[in-house]
Amino acid sequence: MTTGTDKTKISRRSVLKGAAATAGLAVGAGAVTGFPTVWAQNIKNVTLRQFGTGVSNLNEVAAKVKEDLGFTLEMTALDSDSVTQRAATQPKGFDIADIEYWICKKVWGAGNLQAMDTSKIKNYDKIVGTFRSGKLTPESTIAQGTAPHTVGFVEGPGGKKFVDNESGWMTLIPTIYNADTLGIRPDLIGRPIESWTELLNPEFKGKASILDISSIGIMDAAMVCEAMGEVQYGDKGNMTKEEIDKTMAIFTEAKKNGQFRAFWKSFDESVNLMASGEVVIQSMWSPAITAVRSKGIPCVYQPLKEGYRSWGGGLGLSANLSGIELDAAYEYINWYLSGWVGGFLMRQGYYSAVPETSKNFMTEDEWGYWFEGKAAKKDVVNPQGQVMEKAGAVRDGGAFYDRMGAVACWNSVMDENKHMVRKWNEFIAA
């Protein structure tokens, strides 16, 4: 019995001691080194939870954040449907949303994201024009679809409506973007491919594929139908019911004739279809091409005369962020645009929102290959150290301004979204 009470006494005493020591330490630290340290200490305890598509949710970025900024960034990679779902329905489940612009258009109205004060973004002025005025260069025309600048700004901090000028309140800070086209297996096709129409060319019967994400798939389908001259669109990014019906009718017929080998939904599926030779021409994403090539299998991201279908992503802040967490989020965003991430992503074939800062984190040869479309002087190596291209290679499609300047359409959400989805499901079920 006595030993029992002794034990409790000891443990109680030690606990008290410990508590006092901790309190003293905390007070001492505050008193001696002053306020900023406490803040710096606190920000180290901050954990920001980011989710997004696999493309930019990379563990290397989280590790670098810990190293450069001190706080923890938790990454969750999901597919675009799940990303949309979470942004729209689970506001408390994330701090930073890494979403695409068309998803932003879809979910902004749910009120789970807060606009960002551009005066707090150091490199705001250096962000590529596409995301601010909509024009890449002053002469460029604005492509169809959900162009990023159209959903890039709201009228104020709590704004729900998008505005068409640089209001100073940004919905998403652009992170990465790219111009998509068809991927082909040149070794299995053996002739030049120049137009989107080739996707439905009977020559590739049973060897074509399209992605089964309705909002993106419909755009690829529209690029094909327009190139074939079968359908004329007012705006491919916002089709009328009639345009949707016509487009899907053409694709349904092609499907019934056995044109498609498969439809893919995730990145890996597209890589496997291409690498295994099941498919020789399909809608594809840039890093998937790289993944196929790194297996030693020839694969080209074929520039087509009708232009590219483009997409862009950005970071949005959860409406729940405030205080020190919000400060940390701004710090993270400023860091994101300061170049390291940009260099990291550009060496995988994406473009960064502020290319000039990224340049500092790339070699001249890398910059020349990825951005300027010049022939590589040395082997091109990806951030993980794998050789992606041999010396002398030139990027498919060439320079940044050639590629991003030839965007025909942006990924988008249409007013007739419900109708489009139903038609798409009919196409899949046909």
Partner 1 sequence: MSSSSTQTPGAVVAPGAASTESTRTKTASPEKASWFLVSPLVLVLGVFLVLPILTIVTVSFWDYNEYNFFPAFILENYSYLLTSQVTLATYLKTFKFMALTWIFCTVIGFTVAYFLAFHVRSLPMQIVLFLICTVPFWTSNIIRMISWIPFLGRNGLANSALISTGVIDEPLEWLLFSDFAVVLAFVHLYCLFMVVPIFNTMMRIDRSLIEAARDAGANGFQILTNVIIPLTKPGIMIGSIFVVTLVMGDFITVRFMSGGQSASVGRVISNEIALLQYPAAAASAVVLLITVLIMIGIMMRFVDIRKEL
- Enumerate binding residues for partner 1 (CB under 8 A): 81-82, 84-85, 88-89, 106-107, 109-110, 206, 209, 212, 214, 255, 260-265, 272-273, 276-278, 413, 417-418, 421-422, 425-426, 428-430
How many helices (H) and strands (E) the chain has is answered by 16, 18
Q: Return the number of the residue (32 or 429) whose C-beta is nearest partner 1.
A: 429
With respect to partner 1, which residue has the nearer C-beta, 264 or 371? Answer: 264
> What does the DSSP assignment read for 193-234?
--SGGGGG-GGGTTSEEEE--HHHHHHHHHHHHHHHTS---S
Nearest-angstrom CA–CA distance, 37 and 39? 5
Angle between helices 35-45 and 2-33 in degrees, nearest 10? 120
Nearer to partner 1, 135 or 422 (CB): 422
- DSSP β-ladder status, 208-211 and 260-264: parallel
Half-sphere exposure for 154 (CA within 13 Å, toward CB): 20
**Judged by CB, which is closer to partner 1: 258, or 383?**
258
Minimal distance, residue 289 CB to partner 1, in Å: 20
Shortest Å distance, C-beta 414 to partner 1: 10
Given a contact cutoff of 8 angstroms between Cβ atoms, the answer to whether 169 and 160 are in contact is: no
Written as six digits, the tokens of 330 are: 């701004």
Cα 130 to Cα 148: distance, rounded to the nearest angstrom: 7
414 SS3 class: coil
Give min distance, CB of 272 to partner 1, in A.
8
Q: How far is the CB of 235 from partner 1 (least distance, A)?
A: 18
Question: How far apart, in whole angstroms, are the C-alpha atoms of residue 298 and residue 425?
Answer: 33
Phi-psi domain of 226 (left: phi exceeds 0; alpha: psi -120 through 50; beta: other): alpha
How far apart are CB 261 and partner 1 at their closest, in Å? 6
The Cα–Cα gap between 261 and 255 comes to 9
CB of 275 to partner 1, least distance (A): 10
Pairing of strands 173-180, 351-352: antiparallel
Give the shortest CB-64-to-partner 1 separation in angstroms: 32
Q: How far is the CB of 107 from partner 1 (least distance, A)?
A: 5
How far apart are the C-alpha atoms of 296 and 418, rounded to whole Å? 42
- Alpha-carbon distance 418 to 241, whole Å? 10
Task: Give bridge partners of residue 97 from the DSSP assignment.
Answer: 51, 316
Of 27 and 428, nearer to partner 1 (C-beta) is: 428
Nearer to partner 1, 215 or 348 (CB): 215
Which residue's CB is nearer to partner 1, number 261 or number 395? 261
Query: In terms of CB distance, is 195 or 417 closer to partner 1?
Result: 417
Closest distance of CB 256 from partner 1, Å: 11
82 or 360: CB nearest partner 1: 82
